[in-house]
Amino acid sequence: MKKRLLDYGGQDFLNVSPIDLKQSILASEGRTIMAENVPTGGCFLNGVTNAEIERAAGADLIMFNALDLFEPKIAGVPNNIKTDEQITWVKQAIARPIGINLEPVDYNAKMNENRSEISIGRIVSPKTLELADKYGFSFICLTGNPGTGVSNSAIKESIKMAKKYYSGLIIAGKMHGAGVDEPVMNVDIAKEFINEGIDILLVPAPYTVPYFREKDLYEIVTLVKEFNKGKSIEDKILVMTANGTSQDSADIETIKKIGLVSKACGADLQHIGDSFNGICLPENIFALGQAIRGRRHQLIMLSRSNIR
């Protein structure tokens, strides 16, 4: 299905294959938004899941963070929905692809801060990758939350594991240090992830981490575009910029600036994080969409019915 994500209806989103989703993001020319949320805590608004709020604000893709796949309970889902059916319920409710963060924790990493321990259901492993497949996640993101000790070397090793145990799209990279004393992202790190065969390279958006500006993003995007020449969509790599350092809750003008510079440097899609109590502020998702795709596409995406 060669169709821009911008032109998708709800049924397109629900039935798209991972490869067609990747092609549709590429065809949308930098106008795709992925919003992150923590689905297990309290809801931002009573009676509605965080995913429903983010979809209503303009998110095209939803990424669950801090979800334990051994106990995948989602706040806001009707009480009569069984735990192992809640992810499917949310996907049907929002008619958008959903992915999940899985964290490649490195217990030998040199830390800049005290380590935050997380449950094994959040850590990447053959079992959690198989569960991600079972629950129908369209993509996984191999990255780290603050203080978890996720290193770039551990991410690299987890890519190999993911390709063996998971069939959807693989996103890899760091939004911030995750507590580890190492560079977050540079051209050399990008090359290592690219050579492992990922689908989407995650890099910080300019202005969201120290020492990562427009020129750094442009160099990495140029590297990726050279790599992609002559390749089919299966082997091409997309670039996703991430606003995941609590600046997802910044003022609207900052959100727009980060979004526009990311698009200008060549990002294929943009992530916006969940630091405001487990969700992205809805007005910031809307502002990002309005900046990178304009009122026309923004309103069409918000208005188009899930039954189309």
- Residue 308 falls within a domain, yes or no? no
Are the beta carbons of 99 and 140 closer than 8 angstroms?
Answer: yes
Give the residue carrying structure tokens 């309970």: 73
- Check residue 2 and give its pLDDT: 85
Q: Rounded CA gap, 285 and 272, in Å?
A: 7
Task: Provide the pLDDT for residue 49.
Answer: 98
Q: How far apart are the first and last CA of the chain?
A: 16
How far apart are alpha carbons 202 and 144 in whole angstroms?
A: 11
Please count the other Cβ atoms lying within 10 Å of the Cβ belonging to residue 220: 26
Please check whether residue 216 lies inside any domain of the structure. Answer: yes
Q: What is the CATH number of the domain that holds 120?
A: 3.20.20.70
Closest to 174 measured CA to CA, from 163, 162, 189:
189
> Is 241 in contact with 205 (CB distance < 8 Å)?
yes
Alpha helices for 265-281 (secondary structure H)? none
Residue 39 lies in a domain: yes
Assess contact for 84 and 131: CB atoms under 8 A. no
Residue 128 host element (H or E): helix 126-134
Any domain includes 237: yes
Q: What is the pLDDT along the chain (308 residues), one digit of tens a residue?
A: 689 999 999 999 999 999 999 999 999 999 999 999 999 988 999 999 999 999 999 999 999 999 999 999 999 999 999 999 999 999 999 999 999 999 999 999 999 999 999 999 999 999 999 999 999 999 999 999 999 999 999 999 999 999 999 999 999 999 999 999 999 999 999 999 999 999 999 999 999 999 999 999 999 999 999 999 999 999 999 999 999 989 999 999 999 999 999 999 999 999 999 989 899 999 999 999 999 999 999 999 999 988 88
3 state DSSP class of 242: strand
Question: Among residues 96, 35, 30, which one has the least CA distance to residue 242?
Answer: 35
Residue 140 lies in a domain: yes
Surface-to-core class of residue 303, CB atoms within 10 Å of its CB (0-12 exposed, 13-18 middle, 19+ buried): exposed
Number of domains in the chain: 1
pLDDT, position 1: 67
Domain range enclosing 144: 5-303
Residue 261: per-residue pLDDT:
99
